[in-house]
Structure 1
Amino acid sequence: MRAVQVTEFGGPEVLIPAELADPVPGPGQVLIEVDRIGVNYADTHQAENSYLAPSKLPLVPGGEVVGHTSEGRRVVALLGDGGGYAERAVAAQAMAFPVPDGVDDLNALSMLVQGATAWILLRKNTHLEPGESVVVHAAAGGVGSIAVQLAKAWGAGRVIATASSEQKRNLALELGADVAVDSRAENMTDTLREANGGKRVDIVLDMVGGTTTDQSIAALAPFGRLAFYGMAGREQPKPIELRNLLGHSTTVTGMWLPHAFRLPGEVYGTALTELFDLVREGRLRAIAGGEHALADARAAHEALRSRGTVGKLLLDPRK
């Protein structure tokens, strides 16, 4: 089968098209004929071995696919150890979810990781309450574009989007944000407070890191919450001293999606069901970020790392 393989860690240049043997499903696994592959920012970390879970060489990157089983069932699946950048992939049966009618490949893949991430950030990490202000950094991205929509649907009082270009800010406004500000603002603390009518903000969803995180924490209101779920800027925030959290009774929380699979009560499955229902009702939509041929995976990673993309990027293994 055609695939993309990494034999040495590094940037987008290490993504090399290759011919590999078809994967063979073991007990409790299912073989999927892949129709579309989702590209995530985490894939760029996997390729350079800077992700939370260490990578092993050689590897086929990619953690999500949508396609059909040998019985003809249409499923979207999470792949625990990669293997997604290929014409065929193997997934644990428990991680292969049926895709309902009315949900296309783009939305199925977008809800699997980005949608579930936004759902958990707002429901579990920050416990959004009606009327609260919500800041969504990288609001035109895969998670951000969905988080803006969910925050509005769930009663946020004011949704403040940040993005690096006028085009991205306009998209965030189109999706329901009340105000959109430049993510390159010199002082994000003042910018966020000004965007919130001079008041401190209640919730911040942050996947940037560095000074963006530092200044966002400083913008939090009493009992405000910042949920940290990535570091796209590849810059570490300052260490947080616990005593400084007392100043405004603030909470800083982290989220890595795989931990959601360990929660009791089928939390991840509930999130996915709710998200698919919202898509079918026309109340939630994924933003197409572009589609590349499988052999052009390198270009997809370059686009992601440049932070010039919007929405969800896909690979087509049939091209």
Structure 2
Amino acid sequence: MKSIVLDRFGGPDVLALRDGPALVPAAGQALVRVAAAGVNFADTLMRRDAYVVTPPLPIVLGSEAAGVVTAVGDGVDAGWVGRRVAAPLFASGVHFGGYAEALVIDARFLVALPDAIDDATAVALQAQGLSARHLVIQADPRGKSVLVTAAAGGVGSLLIQLARLAGAATVVAAASSAAKLDLARSLGADAVVDYSKPGWDDAVLAATGGTGPDVVYDSVGGDVTKRCLEILAPCGRALLYGALNPAEFTLSGTDLVRMVFKNQWLGGFALVPLLDPEAVRTGLAALFDAVARGDLTVLAGGTFPFSRAGEAHAALESRRTVGKVVLVPDAG
């Protein structure tokens, strides 16, 4: 079995495709032949040892995949064998093992894939789709003005659409290039702003009638987060998520006083603590249905064979991609 092994920290070139022993599912597990594996920004941070925790080496990165069940361990329904499934390793608390031709997963977290959902789409709707769905649940946008940063990314592009489906009055999308802004507008954003240019926060205020956004979903961090909080509407809610670097952001006493007297709320968002097998099944089923109905568009950010995993990481780190970056086994 081939897998992409990380045995030292460094740049994208440290990812190596190697042969390894075949996997055997233990009791309660399923063995899945991987058809597509998702690449997340957190994977690039782990590769550089810049994540919140240092992964043990050697290790196979990747926390989400889609494929076909080929075997099951004791106590697992044999009816899973031969079925196409989503394999959200992260939901079971396992954040490694996805960049491989096969993986084992707690069978309670398997989700059957409808025929209308291809493998790449199934991968995109796991960590990123479930994050977008639960962000909307955590900070309800119904009837409110919403600001989505990193709006052309995997989560951001879905947030634009899910906020609109949930009844947001105004959706403002913020990104860092004209092409990404055009994309955000095509997904349903009412207004777009380029946060790489001075005065972008004033543009958000203008787009929200001068009051600022009622809800902010932010994954950029640094000065962008600080500006988001400064323009947040009275009684507004800001949710921070993703692989933010806390060292790049400070909240002063003045900021806190302003938030207190404006009745504003600042919260963090982490997906995994919100998930159990039922939440995963329900959430993915809702997302799959939305795609099948044509209500939700999943953006493809590029597909790379396992042998070019380093290129996939480099593309994601360069911020050139939009949507979901996916790895697939090499042909033959």
- TM-score normalised to structure 2 length: 0.90
Q: What residue is the counterpart of 2:115 in the other structure?
A: 101
Q: Figure out how many residues of one structure are paired with residues of the other and give that number.
A: 315
CA distance in 2, matches of 1:249, 1:72: 53
Q: What residue is the counterpart of 2:162 in the other structure?
A: 150
CA distance in 2, matches of 1:26, 1:51: 29
CA distance in 2, matches of 1:230, 1:238: 17
**1:233 deviation in Å?**
7.0
**1:2 deviation in Å?**
1.6
What SS does structure 1 have at the residue aligned with 2:234? strand
Structure 2 unaligned regions, length at least 5:
71-80
Do the aligned residues in 2 keep the contact of 1:187 with 1:215 (CA within 8 Å)?
Answer: no
Q: Bigger shift: 40-49 or 217-226?
A: 40-49
Do the aligned residues in 1 keep the contact of 2:42 with 2:243 (CA within 8 Å)?
Answer: no
CA distance in 2, matches of 1:72, 1:123: 34
Identity of aligned residues (%): 39
Q: What residue is the counterpart of 1:65 in the other structure?
A: 65
Pick closer, same or farther for the CA change 1:49–1:258 going to 2, 3 Å: farther
Q: What residue is the counterpart of 1:41 in the other structure?
A: 41
Pick closer, same or farther for the CA change 1:311–1:233 going to 2, 3 Å: farther
Q: What residue is the counterpart of 1:256 in the other structure?
A: 270
Q: What residue is the counterpart of 2:73 in the other structure?
A: none
Q: Bigger shift: 229-238 or 242-251?
A: 229-238
Q: What residue is the counterpart of 1:30 in the other structure?
A: 30
Q: What residue is the counterpart of 2:234 in the other structure?
A: 222
Q: Deviations over 1:247-299 (max 9, x none)?
A: 3211111112111125xx93333222211111111111200111011111111
Q: 1:115 aligns with which of 126, 129, 138?
A: 129
**1:107 deviation in Å?**
1.8
CA distance in 1, matches of 2:140, 2:27: 38
Pick closer, same or farther for the CA change 1:231–1:188 going to 2, 3 Å: farther
**1:209 deviation in Å?**
0.5
CA distance in 1, matches of 2:3, 2:246: 28
Q: What residue is the counterpart of 1:212 in the other structure?
A: 224
Letter in structure 2 aligned against 1:139: A
Q: Bigger shift: 155-164 or 14-23?
A: 14-23
Q: Deviations over 1:97-148 (max 9, x none)?
A: 1112211112211111111101111112x122x2201111111110011100
Structure 1 unaligned regions, length at least 5:
none
What SS does structure 1 have at the residue aligned with 2:61? coil
What SS does structure 1 have at the residue aligned with 2:128? helix
CA distance in 1, matches of 2:114, 2:53: 31
Q: 1:91 aligns with which of 89, 102, 105?
A: 105
Do the aligned residues in 2 keep the contact of 1:2 with 1:19 (CA within 8 Å)?
Answer: yes
C-alpha root-mean-square deviation of aligned residues, in Å?
A: 1.8
Letter in structure 2 aligned against 1:44: T
Runs (4+) of structure 1 exceeding 6 A deviation are none
1:173-212, aligned counterparts within 5 Å?
173-212=185-224
Q: Bigger shift: 136-145 or 97-106?
A: 97-106
Q: Bigger shift: 101-110 or 61-70?
A: 101-110
Letter in structure 1 aligned against 2:68: H
Do the aligned residues in 2 keep the contact of 1:185 with 1:191 (CA within 8 Å)?
Answer: no
Q: Deviations over 1:131-182 (max 9, x none)?
A: 2011111111100111001111111111000111111111111100001111
